[in-house]
């Protein structure tokens, strides 16, 4: 091991003091008494996210402004209690969960869209606006905010930035960080800073906006975001096809590139996904369908007409059958239902779903799927694979009975080996869900100790007392 990496500054252990009466009194003075909760029934919902493990905070604080958050963080540093920021609370890795107690800062009162600038293509928003609300507001102005996590109706823009959220449209449009022009952030020690600005080009100083993207609520609390927009595409279309194997379906993806098509979305579903969704909803997918590909394109009406034909040809040449095309929103929705209704359908395979989101270079997706299937067979566990073939980000879901301890252990072993396979294929252990505390034990499978050392030093420089979201990312 490199000797320089043994000298990460130690973080002062936070002491849990948020429930002291004088601390609560100060919090009430800062945000108003009606916005500080301590009752168990009110704080409990703030103690879990989508993975449903419970770590209730001692208090919940709902500020309205950056200045209030700055004061709360200064108090937290003075009295040494942990603070965890929360958006919509639908993260998949426990990021918003107050693992070491203390207070949760909920951002739901910071829910105003401040400005939509059509000429300069940006929106200025507070962090507590949901992804869906933001998309709807800009679309009403003929503009488009592409990042689209499937949780878009519940997730907040602040949470999206902190997790650098992706979604189905990343294949063409990229992830959340590609839309962040500037931020207002309260640092862990309670200073309000502005990063970036309102222009696409900006190379003044270090790129602190990018540093905040994916920082999992550990380097500061985002209180305002300026997000880049693009014109709303005139038309969209979707092509759906079934295949006899995942390898055949995935082979169409590089073929689309060779045909000079960049699909908006390119989603693949495996055999177990199809059996589940067919049994539940009866889409008429035949027994010979062992994989399914959904490809969406957008652009001008003329362009979409042209590209849709090319997509149809590519999937047919690649062995696709039952090829369907949809060009109206309603018809497209019907084709996408098979993907949208998948998550509820696979619940029948087990009461516990270990939902991982590994990513590999997209040409390696078929290799990843084969390795995961082999891992599942070897550990006698059941796996469902689906996801974003267009960018190589595959949701690998190991399903088992929550009460069967041996089965749960086997599934976790399969998860570890899946992470190793993804790294071995040139990818990594998370494409969009982040690390939180759930994946923290696996961080060193994906990052060198030197890189982890640099990250820990950045954290220490900004948060010397380790009060902001302790227990996450680093074990």
Ligand X SMILES: Cc1cc2nc3c(=O)[nH]c(=O)nc-3n(C[C@H](O)[C@H](O)[C@H](O)COP(=O)(O)OP(=O)(O)OC[C@H]3O[C@@H](n4cnc5c(N)ncnc54)[C@H](O)[C@@H]3O)c2cc1C
Complex with ligand X: residue 165 or 294, whichever CB lies closer: 165
Place of tokens 């320089």: 4
Q: How far is the CB of 194 from ligand X (least distance, A)?
A: 15
Part of the chain binding ligand X (CB under 6 A), chosen from 34-42, 83-91, 285-293, 448-456: 83-91
Query: Ramachandran region of residue 56, left (φ > 0), alpha (ψ -120 to 50) or beta?
Result: beta
Partners of 270 in the β-ladder? 291
Cβ atoms of 189 and 77 closer than 8 Å: yes
Q: Which of 58, 68, 71, 216 binds ligand X (CB under 6 A)?
A: 216
Residue 309 tokens, joined: 């034909």
Binding of ligand X by 467 (CB under 6 A): no
Binding of ligand X by 163 (CB under 6 A): yes
Quote the CA–CA distance of 278 and 266 in Å, as a whole number. Answer: 20
Binding mask 441-460 for ligand X (x = CB under 6 A): --------------------
Q: How far is the CB of 131 from ligand X (least distance, A)?
A: 8
Cβ atoms of 360 and 427 closer than 8 Å: yes
Binding of ligand X by 91 (CB under 6 A): yes
Residue 81 tokens, joined: 């209690």
DSSP conformation class of 25: H
Q: Which of 43, 181, 221, 237 binds ligand X (CB under 6 A)?
A: 221
Q: Which of 146, 217, 470, 471 binds ligand X (CB under 6 A)?
A: 217
Residue 110 tokens, joined: 């910071």
- Which residues, 100 to 119, sit near ligand X by CB under 6 A? 107
Q: How far is the CB of 355 from ligand X (least distance, A)?
A: 9
Complex with ligand X: residue 158 or 350, whichever CB lies closer: 158
Quote the CA–CA distance of 221 and 106 in Å, as a whole number. Answer: 11
Quote the CA–CA distance of 335 and 285 in Å, as a whole number. Answer: 12
Quote the CA–CA distance of 400 and 403 in Å, as a whole number. Answer: 9
Cβ atoms of 130 and 154 closer than 8 Å: yes
Cβ atoms of 399 and 353 closer than 8 Å: yes
Non-local (6+) Cβ contacts of 333 within 8 A are none
Binding of ligand X by 87 (CB under 6 A): yes
DSSP string, 28-80: HHHH-GGGEE--HHHHGGGG--TT------SEEE--SSHHHHHHHHHHHHHHT
Residue closest to ligand X, measured at CB: 159
Q: Which of 47, 63, 102, 159 binds ligand X (CB under 6 A)?
A: 159
Q: How far is the CB of 17 from ligand X (least distance, A)?
A: 20
Place of tokens 């889409």: 283
Quote the CA–CA distance of 190 and 179 in Å, as a whole number. Answer: 26
Binding of ligand X by 345 (CB under 6 A): no
Q: Which of 464, 468, 472, 421 is nearest to 445 (CA)?
A: 421
Binding of ligand X by 179 (CB under 6 A): no
Non-local (6+) Cβ contacts of 221 within 8 A are 69, 73, 85, 105, 107, 158, 185, 186, 468
Complex with ligand X: residue 276 or 375, whichever CB lies closer: 276
Binding of ligand X by 336 (CB under 6 A): no
Part of the chain binding ligand X (CB under 6 A), chosen from 88-96, 252-260, 331-339, 416-424: 88-96
Q: Which of 222, 268, 326, 473 binds ligand X (CB under 6 A)?
A: 222
Binding of ligand X by 162 (CB under 6 A): yes
Binding of ligand X by 165 (CB under 6 A): yes
Binding mask 18-57 for ligand X (x = CB under 6 A): -------------------------------xx-------
Part of the chain binding ligand X (CB under 6 A), chosen from 18-26, 36-44, 80-88, 331-339: 80-88
Binding of ligand X by 389 (CB under 6 A): no
Positions that interact with ligand X (CB under 6 A): 49-50, 84-92, 95-96, 107, 127, 149-151, 155-156, 158-160, 162-163, 165-167, 216-217, 221-222, 432-433, 469
């Amino acid at each position: 091991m490199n000797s320089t990496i043994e000298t990460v500054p130690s973080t002062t252990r936070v002491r849990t003091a948020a429930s002291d009466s004088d601390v609560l009194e100060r919090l009430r003075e800062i945000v108003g008494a009606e916005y500080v909760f301590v009752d168990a029934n009110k704080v409990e919902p703030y103690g879990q996210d989508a993975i449903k493990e419970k770590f209730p905070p001692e208090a919940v604080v709902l500020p309205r402004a950056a200045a209030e958050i700055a004061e709360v963080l200064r108090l937290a540093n003075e009295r040494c209690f942990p603070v965890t920021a929360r958006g919509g609370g639908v993260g998949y890795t426990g990021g918003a969960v107050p693992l070491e107690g203390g207070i949760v800062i909920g951002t739901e009162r910071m829910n105003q869209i401040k400005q939509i600038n059509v000429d300069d293509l940006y929106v200025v928003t507070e962090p507590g606006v949901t992804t869906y609300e933001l998309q709807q507001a800009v679309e009403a102005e003929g503009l488009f905010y592409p990042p689209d996590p499937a949780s878009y109706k519940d997730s907040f823009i602040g949470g999206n930035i902190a997790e650098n959220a992706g979604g189905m449209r990343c294949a063409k449009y990229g992830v959340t960080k590609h839309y962040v022009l500037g931020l207002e952030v309260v640092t862990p020690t309670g200073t309000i800073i502005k990063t970036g600005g309102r222009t696409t080009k900006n190379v003044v100083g270090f790129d602190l906006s990018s540093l905040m993207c994916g920082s999992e609520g550990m380097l500061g609390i985002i209180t305002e975001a300026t997000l880049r927009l693009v014109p709303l595409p005139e038309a969209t279309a979707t092509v759906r096809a079934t295949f006899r194997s995942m390898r055949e379906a995935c082979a169409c993806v590089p073929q689309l590139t060779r045909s000079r098509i960049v699909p908006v979305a390119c989603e693949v579903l495996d055999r177990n996904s199809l059996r589940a969704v067919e049994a539940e909803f009866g889409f008429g997918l035949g027994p010979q369908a062992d994989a399914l590909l959904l490809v969406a394109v957008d652009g001008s009406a003329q362009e979409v007409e042209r590209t849709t034909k090319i997509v149809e040809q590519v999937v047919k040449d690649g062995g696709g059958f039952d090829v369907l095309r949809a060009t109206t929103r309603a018809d497209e929705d019907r084709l996408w239902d098979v993907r949208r209704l998948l998550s509820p359908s696979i619940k029948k395979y087990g009461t516990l779903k270990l939902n991982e989101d590994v990513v590999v270079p997209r040409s390696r997706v078929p290799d990843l799927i084969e390795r995961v299937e082999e891992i599942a067979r070897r550990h006698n566990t059941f796996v469902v694979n689906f996801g974003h073939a267009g960018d190589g980000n595959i949701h690998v879901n190991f399903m088992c009975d929550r009460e069967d301890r041996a089965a749960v252990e086997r599934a976790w072993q399969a998860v570890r080996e899946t992470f190793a396979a993804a790294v071995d294929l040139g990818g990594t252990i998370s494409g969009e869900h982040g690390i939180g505390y759930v994946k923290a034990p696996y961080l060193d499978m994906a990052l060198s100790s030197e890189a982890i050392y640099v990250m820990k030093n950045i954290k220490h420089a900004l948060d010397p007392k380790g009060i902001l979201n302790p227990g996450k990312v680093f074990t």
